């Protein structure tokens, strides 16, 4: 990579840009001063279609002036803005600086809208129609791509409308997850469980925990081997919110249901990630969005 960050490329880009501008001026000067050999009637001797003769007339003045203005503009622009390699221009403009200024301007404009929700309990925010309308728009922009527009998720993407949370599921947990993201890791457990048959037995035992269809004989044989999984999922299989281990007794399957899906999880493990949104949303927006998500899983009847 050092070959692409050395001063050579800075000088190369700057030199190439200057040479291009100078070449335009030279071309303009040559075209205005070079005289082509012509006949007495100012024709060059080139004739098309029998009577269409090429004349040796000078370039229109407006075209020449426009060309000169373009070159001058290029030089002035190059002096003001980043154009010649690493030279930043006398104005010190950067795309990052412009983006930051625009974001600050927008945040200043919307700050009063979010201000009234600061310090408000999530229950009241979730009951506020304006807050929920804002939360819905934020959700559609930043969350729906993975969790779906109805927040019910899909395979490997959690349903946010139920009470099945990999963590505590309270407002603080949701807010922290949105802002900081979350990495969920289940290590491959096949070696700890035993051989392929043991993996199948454990898969059937896990199915039995939720009352799902399973092979009762294999489930009985897999109960002892499940001890390798109990460190995270608990001896009763109800999971541990502190480590983000899911409850295996509720019949909710994030990564697929059935013996094959569970055996694949035991053999291969998982490494899932929810990206942090703090770089895209400020604290006030995250607070409203977290209240919106919290409200979806805490509606009456859930």
- Give residue-wise pLDDT tens across range 62-72: 988 998 999 99
* CA 126 – CA 144 distance, rounded (Å): 18
* CA 116 – CA 30 distance, rounded (Å): 69
Rounded to the nearest 5°, which phi and psi values hold at 44?
-90, -10
* CA 52 – CA 188 distance, rounded (Å): 83
**Parallel/antiparallel/unpaired status of strands 270-274 and 182-186:** antiparallel
- Give residue-wise pLDDT tens across range 177-226: 999 999 989 999 999 998 999 999 999 999 999 999 999 999 999 999 99
* CA 262 – CA 225 distance, rounded (Å): 14
- Report the C-alpha dihedral over residues 120, 124, 130, 131, rounded to 10 degrees: 60
In CATH terms, 185-274 corresponds, of 1.10.760.10, 3.40.50.300, 3.20.20.60, 3.90.550.10, to 1.10.760.10
Q: For 104-181+275-296, which CATH class?
A: mainly alpha
Q: What is the mean pLDDT of residues 36-43?
A: 76
- Give residue-wise pLDDT tens across range 110-160: 999 999 898 899 999 999 999 999 999 999 999 999 999 999 999 999 999
- Could you check whether 104-181+275-296 and 185-274 share the same CATH topology? yes
Closest by Cα among 120, 146, 145 to 131: 120
Domain limits of the chain?
2-80, 104-181+275-296, 185-274
């Amino acid at each position: 990579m050092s070959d692409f960050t050395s001063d050579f490329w800075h000088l190369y880009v700057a030199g190439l840009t200057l040479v291009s501008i100078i070449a335009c001026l030279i071309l303009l000067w040559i075209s205005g001063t070079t005289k082509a050999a012509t006949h007495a009637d100012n024709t060059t001797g080139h004739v098309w279609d029998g009577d269409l003769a090429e004349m040796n007339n000078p370039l229109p003045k407006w075209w020449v002036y426009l060309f000169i203005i373009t070159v001058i503009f290029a030089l002035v622009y190059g002096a003001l803005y980043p154009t010649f390699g690493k030279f930043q221009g006398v104005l010190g403009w950067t795309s990052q600086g412009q983006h930051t200024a625009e974001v600050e301007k927008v945040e200043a404009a919307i700050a009063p809208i979010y201000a009234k929700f600061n310090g408000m309990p999530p229950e009241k925010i979730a009951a506020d129609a304006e807050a929920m309308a804002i939360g819905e728009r934020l959700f559609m922009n930043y969350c729906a791509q993975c969790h779906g527009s109805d927040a019910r998720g899909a395979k490997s993407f959690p349903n946010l409308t139920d009470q099945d949370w990999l963590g505590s599921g309270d407002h603080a947990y949701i807010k922290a997850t949105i802002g900081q993201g979350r990495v969920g890791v289940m290590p491959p457990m096949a070696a700890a469980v035993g051989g392929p048959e043991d993996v199948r037995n454990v898969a059937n035992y896990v199915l039995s925990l939720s009352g799902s269809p399973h092979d009762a004989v294999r489930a009985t044989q897999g109960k002892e081997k499940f001890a390798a999984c109990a460190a995270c999922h608990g001896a009763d299989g109800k999971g541990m919110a502190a480590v983000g281990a899911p409850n295996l007794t509720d019949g909710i399957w994030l990564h697929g249901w059935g013996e094959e899906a569970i055996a694949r999880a035991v053999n291969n493990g998982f490494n899932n990630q929810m990206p942090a949104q703090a770089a895209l949303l400020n604290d006030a927006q995250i607070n409203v969005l977290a209240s919106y998500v919290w409200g979806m899983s805490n509606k009456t009847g859930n």
